[in-house]
Amino acid sequence: MIPPLLACLLFLPQSQAETTIAPSSNSKVVVTSGGKEVWPPKGPVCEDLVRCCEAAGKKDSSAMLMCQLMVATPPVDCVKGLKDVRQYLGERNVQAPKECGVSK
């Protein structure tokens, strides 16, 4: 099985290959892909995903990068993203933070 972080990198379409991760003026990270801002994601449950990823990143430094890369290819599915983060952490034997619980 390919680790999720590596899978994110391997399967980015050529048009999405120009992904940029940079700090913004408010100390948050902004990810752009193909000239469009993809992190933080926008859509149903995406605020929950951002909170989950920020908390997960404090437990496992690679988790935040995985979160940012998994939304680099549209369409963004934040419900699936929450499940993917929990799975990723489980595979790394890291307990998912409470912020990654089932969304409302």
pTM, two decimal places:
0.70
Instruction: Tell me the one-letter amino acid at 50.
Output: V
Distance CA 92, CA 104 (A): 26
CA distances from 89 to 8, 39, 46, 77, 95 (A): 15, 20, 18, 18, 7
Each residue's pLDDT expressed in tens, for the chain with a length of 104 residues: 445 544 444 444 444 446 565 555 544 677 777 778 788 888 889 999 999 999 999 999 899 888 888 887 778 889 999 999 999 999 999 999 999 985 44
Q: Where are the domains of the chain?
A: 4-98
